[in-house]
């Protein structure tokens, strides 16, 4: 059930971005806010990496968009093309799926340094699902402002 809900949220973000140009994907929600659909895609690549690869798998790797653990770097989309961002996000989501599928149970424990605590795979899957859900609300508003498209 957790896998299905997480995949639904991933698919929802992809749907919100479908068919848009780089210009549309980079359109800010309400300046001076830097929130964009492209920034959300890049951010979710970092979220996937942070929670599954770093916390659960214990990989010592930087964020996708920052070597300095700067989570805000993903939102800087000036001069950024959508295709590399989508490829990176899809690759991170696939890594996450493989980590989850290889785990003997949802009780596998990893460590989240930002929280300074151990976390189970179950908690990670729930947390990442909630992170997508929150940002998909933003994505819904962003997409509606671009071309009027609404819906899940």
HSE-CB at 32 with a 13 A cutoff on CA atoms is: 0
- State pLDDT tens for residues 73-131: 999 999 999 999 999 999 999 999 999 999 999 999 999 999 999 999 999 999 999 99
DSSP 3-state of 130: helix
- State pLDDT tens for residues 6-40: 999 999 999 999 999 999 999 998 888 889 999 99
End-to-end alpha carbon distance in the chain: 19
Structure tokens at 103: 């785990």
Dist. CA 11–CA 14, nearest whole Å: 5
Dist. CA 148–CA 122, nearest whole Å: 36
Q: Closest by alpha carbon to 144, among 39, 27, 31?
A: 27
Dist. CA 38–CA 78, nearest whole Å: 10
Where does 2-147 sit in CATH, by number? 1.20.120.450
- State pLDDT tens for residues 117-132: 999 999 999 999 999 9
Dihedral sign for Cα 3, 132, 51, 23, please.
positive
Phi first, then psi: what are they for 119, rounded to 5°? Answer: -135, 140
Q: Closest by alpha carbon to 74, among 96, 30, 42, 117?
A: 42
Q: Where are the domains of the chain?
A: 2-147
The reported pTM is 0.96
């Amino acid at each position: 059930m957790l896998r299905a809900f997480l995949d639904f949220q991933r698919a929802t973000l992809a749907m919100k971005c479908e068919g848009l140009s780089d210009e549309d994907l980079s359109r800010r929600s309400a300046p001076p806010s830097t929130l964009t659909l492209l920034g959300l895609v890049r951010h979710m690549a970092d979220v996937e990496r942070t929670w599954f690869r770093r916390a659960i798998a214990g990989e010592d790797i930087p964020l996708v968009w920052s070597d300095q653990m700067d989570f805000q770097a993903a939102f800087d989309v000036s001069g950024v093309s959508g295709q590399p961002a989508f490829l990176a996000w899809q690759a991170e989501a696939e890594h996450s799926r493989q980590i989850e599928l290889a785990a003997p149970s949802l009780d596998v424990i990893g460590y989240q340094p930002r929280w300074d605590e151990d976390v189970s795979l179950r908690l990670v899957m729930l947390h990442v699902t909630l992170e997508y859900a929150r940002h998909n609300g933003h994505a819904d508003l962003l997409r509606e402002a671009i071309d009027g498209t609404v819906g899940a």
